Structure 1
Amino acid sequence: MRMQTMLAHFGEETFHGAVVPPLFLNSIFTSNTFDEMKAPDTPYRYSRMGNPTTDMLEKKLAALDNGEAAKVFASGMAAISTTLLHFLKQGDHVICSYPIYGGTYAMLSGWMARFGVTCDFVDFRNLDNIRGAAKPNTRMLFTEGYSTMFMDVFDLRGAIEISKAHGWVSIIDNTCATPATLKPLDWGFDVVVHSLSKYLSGHSDVIGGVVVSSRDTIRKLTEIEVSLIGGSLPPFDAWLANRGIRTFGLRMKQQGESAMRVAALLAGHPQVERVNFPFLPGLGQHELAASQMSGPTGLLSFELRGGEPAVRRFVDALRWFKLGVSWGGFESLVYATAIGWQREQVAGTEYESRVDKLVRLSIGLEDAEDLLEDVEQALARI
């Protein structure tokens, strides 16, 4: 099956001919006999560990990323933190790309230090920075397929070669790039994490996360961390995510096409100093992005001349782009790093001077012409 056909049909049981699978809201599952309950292969006992509704979603997500298995969580951060706690122990060292998602930065820059885990954040655009950060106790390489704010892409082939040569576990947050455009497990990454709250669910009504990896890794993660930490996705949220993911391929296509048009408009506007969208020919990193990703997403950023005052006027003048912190839903959103962002991530780097003038757009499913008109009229008010 191709992607959209798989999303429409794969992993769903048929109950009395129902097109939409039922929702299993129950917390426990009973057995008929002592031996049946005791059997190690009993599929369901307690919904924290497994549930038919979450299983349907996990089957789709594993297939979508070409993985053997998947485990869904109550948030993207639950997926990330559980994965870090699964692989890391006291004395381990992590090499992480920057800028990185804020929650990941907070975990690796400070919180994990409580357990004796250290991290170096380096610019993955230069592979020598990865090599130079290697230590005898390095255990993990962590990166993103498409960085959250500045929309950088990295040489994933080169990064994974370094990781494998050193025997590190490699983890990639693929929320921004999505499996519609990038499948990191095919490149050799060990683990992929996503926020379900963004493109995968797509309706801004679910908070969730997922880890996709080998069957053995997901089994161990479920038996240990999921059991002890308990960050499982509730069945109703899994049902909502499964509903949303059925249109994932169609949404990504339209959002990517609209984003290309918005990026082209911005790239030719005199008030715009820089557009961060490597899918547009002629922009920085375009060749690398085209060699690694099959198409654009709906997420882009740009930098305005005039800094924070210009950003403030632009954001406040928008009509269809609503001001919000997330992305990937049906609605178009705008956010500016000058409103609030972890500046310590980029202190002393080239990114530091770009924070106050950066605007991020998440392109939704509105008519592209309306979005273009909205951006044009807002730029005219700067």
Structure 2
Amino acid sequence: MTFHGFDTRAIHAGQEADTETGAVAVPIYQVSTYRQDGVGGLRGGYEYSRTGNPTRSALEECLASLEQGARGLAFASGMAAEDTLVRTVARPGAHVVIPSDAYGGTYRLFARVLSSWGVEFDAVALSDPEAVRAAIRPQTVAVWVETPTNPLLNIADISALAEITHAAGALLVVDNTFASPYLQRPLTLGADVVVHSTTKYLGGHSDVVGGALVVAEPELGERLAFHQNTMGAVPGPFDAWLTLRGIKTLGARMDRHCANAERIVAELVEHPGVSQVLYPGLAEHPGHGVAARQMRGFGGMVSFRLVGGAEAALAVCDRARLFTLAESLGGVESLIEHPGRMTHASAAGSPLEVPDDLVRLSVGIEDVQDQLADLRQALPG
């Protein structure tokens, strides 16, 4: 049966009732190898769990359905997914365009790992399509997009970048972690590959680490699957099961994340100790129009800058109580962090260094009045 609604697919895609027992939840196939009916006689196509596992297969099918792609592949972490993708599509001498405010871990991967392998990169403001066009070289194999970006929440026009990238014969890769497939589906806008840290909104409960790739074309999916198996950075069956369980409530959670974030943003913009609020849902945000066009909602991530500089930003992080001081994002609980000294410390001293007066919130799904009360007591004055 074909399911059309997002929430229906999140609950049912790849998750039919078990044929042996009728169990409505996908079983955790905690197994490393599988009995064969004679040499090469595989039951269900499974031989060894690095190559394929039924629980992981269910997750991969569900991810492909949610992103409306040809194939999904699950990994042990978002960084494992990114590394596998680049090593599949690039060779020494290749070039990649990345965001000028990319996630610190992505920047570290390109600057300190892939560069030693011979992959070159340029960091460009992806909100400016003409700057992207100018940065593309004959050796460019991919344009790597985050939208919204982490942590400055800039917006890139996926459709416009797809046209520019494809005209150059390169792939458009979109990290969709911040938006989740509930709010944004880049493949339908022309992207070739979607990247996720499934640790975040897809898992949703801060209890599992994982990553994923979803592709528009089966041929690229086959190449990636070969490298997924060969390089081996796959999730275990219990991690796949936890992620799959989290996905079932993704739509309901994202609605609450967005609603709470909008209430918090409305208060932050009026606070005298806050110099700037970064949130694509604000009409004055430079990417608001594009975000409104390509996103279902504006997300649960909020960044803001403090009048008192780094000292004030660190003090807010220290005084917060309901907002837990921690890295990561996208869980049901609210988190607060200082990107310059935490998630983006690897970009310090580089052109991608983030402002030291910046605080990033991952707005959870607690009662918004409790969230607001915590922020009021944590903010200066």
In 2 relative to 1, CA 178–203 (structure 1 residues): closer, same or farther, beyond 3 Å? same
Q: How does 1:43-122 map to 2 (within 5 A)?
A: 43-122=45-124
Partner residue of 2:180 out of 173, 178, 190: 178
| Aligned mate of 1:4, from 3, 7, 15 | 7
Identity level (%): 38
Inter-CA distance 258–342: structure 2 relative to 1 (3 Å threshold): closer
Q: Determine the structure 2 residue equivalent to 1:373.
A: 373
Compute the RMSD of aligned alpha carbons.
1.8
SS at match of 1:83: helix
4+ long deviations beyond 6 Å = none
CA apart distance, 1:187: 1.1
Contact 2:105–2:344 (Cα < 8 Å) also in 1: no
User: Which position in structure 2 is the counterpart of 1:216?
Assistant: 219
Alpha carbons 1:145, 1:174 under 8 Å: kept: yes
C-alpha deviation, 1:155, in angstroms: 2.0
Residues 335 and 364, structure 2, Cα contact 8 Å, conserved in 1:
yes
Aligned partners of 1:302 and 1:358 also within 8 Å = yes
Match of 1:156 in 2: 158
Q: 1:326 to 1:344 in 2, by over 3 A?
A: closer
* Residue identity matched to 1:255: H
* Equivalent of residue 17 in structure 2, options 5, 14, 17: 14
Aligned partners of 1:145 and 1:182 also within 8 Å: no
Q: Which aligned pairs between 1:271-282 and structure 2 lie closer than 5 A? A: 271-282=273-284
Q: Map residues 177-196 of structure 1 onto 2, 5 A cutoff.
A: 177-196=179-198
AA aligned to 2:219 is D
Alpha-carbon contact 2:56-2:237 (below 8 Å) kept: yes
C-alpha distance in 1 between matches for 2:282 and 2:314: 26
TM-score, with structure 2 as normaliser? 0.94
For the Cα contact (< 8 Å) 2:155–2:290, is it kept in 1?
Answer: yes
What secondary structure sits across from 1:34 in the alignment? coil
The corresponding residue for 1:315 is: 317
Alignment: residue pair count? 375
Q: Where in structure 1 are there 5+ consecutive unaligned residues? A: none
Q: Distance in 2 between matches of 1:42 and 1:255?
A: 39
Cα distance in 1 for residues equivalent to 2:83 and 2:340 = 27
Deviation at 1:17, TM superposition (A): 2.6
Which ranges in structure 2 are unaligned for 5 or more consecutive residues? Answer: none
Asked if the contact 2:104/2:346 (under 8 Å) is kept, the reply is no
1:18 and 1:342, CA in 2 relative to 1: closer, same or farther beyond 3 A?
Answer: closer
Q: 1:42 deviation in Å?
A: 5.7
